[in-house]
Structure 1
């Protein structure tokens, strides 16, 4: 068993290791990339049904993202890699997560086999909850109506959750979150998620330019498919799950210097220490401005001073977006 969160929230990828404690439970099924407010509606419905019947509730999800499997040359910009997905799932109140490996062979599984071999015989479910747009099985034959009919014949309940909408009446989706991040609208992305989005990577050695400028940074290389807008961000960061520290970060190609490969460069306020080789989680609160090229190092430093002051002001008034944000990202500093 792979435990990504804690012993209280098991995460398994092998059906042979499915915990007996989750059997006869309510399963929420989906890709759940981002675990956004629309996904949370599905998970919340599963929790409500499970608690009413005094049985466990868990999620069934898939890794990697199916679109990446079918088009590996254009991998999907993942909002929540598996460890973060599990963390957010745990914050919703679920009792566990099954994360099945998604392969072309798995995609070729007939819809009937998915129901009989996985849902019925392996997971022993009492009830299944999915979103209105979830499909499964070879050729996507497993529609919501198919699942309802299968539940009637195999003795488990089925609930299909309609699209969750935002305050403007627009459907909440992973695509909308990705589009907001690509546009640099972190506030919009966080509102759709219901918690503040973050990235995590190991701190690597850089060119040490920040140190020379009076702004030593922790440098992170994000996956090439990351579609975050280049620019300057107010952030909080923590190393290896430790305490959050306020800071300011630049994501981009450093046009004043080398216009190289994109890096996330994080300057932590009032911090001194060695972060090399540690995993840094960086939570994005707001985008302050676009990336710019400066005519002189002095002009760059003056702007960095202004960016730092603005980031401090933004972070000073930061409050949790809700219970999930509080559980995932901790209380305000």
Structure 2
């Protein structure tokens, strides 16, 4: 898979493909269904994705709290796992936000990418002030002989599978249910940064990772699986929150204690999968009580991870 961030300059190999349009935040089962629809419609073409960064919501509402399910580079990697050969990631900036719907189709999809087929969800909107809908997309692309597949949302017994539904489950403390919709466990990906070493003093050294653009899930203690840069997957216990016992409460972060290894992880990028919420965040009466609870949390996390295979 190749990622392109300058759509006017994509090479010939990235032109003339069948593409799926959308934000693809999380690359969940519904997104995979959309990709499969493109492949079935044009099995003779390479599979591409046209997406955006930053997410339009983040551009128009910068005051909102972070809400992304994955970082852009992780999204591109997961798309590649589903046989996407070309990801065109359009910078969503002031100029692009003013591009009219007809210009998006003509300038980007036709002249820029020379698409042979396009697929999107029924609620896809595009162009300045979301002025274009799927009916207009079909009308405009038909002028150039380009086919369009409008793909209904994939649903389960609880309704359509969507990024917003997955976000809600994570915020409510159900990562295992979110994993069912994603098709894999949800991960927070980030670089390990120095902390205050308090975890080491408590006997449970932790890898500290800022949430960054990630959605903040329910605060509390989780059983986690941590993937290291070399591919090893290490079980552990993690905390998402503001550490009320030591009055650290300025911003939430992820602290993960990896079981049975003692390595310098500073500067490394880890993928921390939240497997199950063990308990909510709470304040303890001193560090001794906190240390005892962490020991209990670690025992419980080991059992959860032994009993539950990765999704």
Whether 1:44 aligns to 2:24 is no
CA distance in 2, matches of 1:242, 1:41: 28
**Larger relative contact order (C-alpha < 8 A, sep ≥ 6)?**
2
Partner of 1:121: helix, strand, or coil? helix
Residues 67 and 75 in structure 1, CA contact (< 8 A), matched pair in contact too: no
CA distance in 1, matches of 2:118, 2:41: 10
Whether 1:156 aligns to 2:150 is no
Whether 1:107 aligns to 2:97 is yes
Whether 1:209 aligns to 2:198 is yes
**Alpha-carbon spacing, 1:232–1:45, altered in 2? closer, same or farther (3 Å):** same
CA distance in 1, matches of 2:204, 2:66: 33
Match of 2:235 in 1: 246
Whether 1:93 aligns to 2:83 is yes
Which shows bigger deviation, 12-21 or 123-132? Answer: 12-21
Which shows bigger deviation, 218-227 or 178-187? Answer: 218-227
Q: Which runs of 5+ in 1 are unaligned?
A: 1-8, 322-333
**Count of equivalent residues:** 310
- Measured after TM superposition, the shift of residue 224 of structure 1 is 7.0
CA distance in 2, matches of 1:238, 1:246: 9
Residues 22 and 57 in structure 1, CA contact (< 8 A), matched pair in contact too: no
What is the TM-score when the length of structure 2 is the normalising length?
A: 0.95
Whether 1:269 aligns to 2:259 is yes
Partner of 2:73: helix, strand, or coil? helix
Residues 225 and 273 in structure 2, CA contact (< 8 A), matched pair in contact too: yes
CA distance in 2, matches of 1:296, 1:248: 20
Partner of 2:264: helix, strand, or coil? coil
Q: Which runs of 5+ in 2 are unaligned?
A: none
CA distance in 1, matches of 2:225, 2:59: 33
Whether 1:178 aligns to 2:167 is yes
What is the TM-score when the length of structure 1 is the normalising length?
A: 0.89
> RMSD between aligned alpha carbons?
1.6
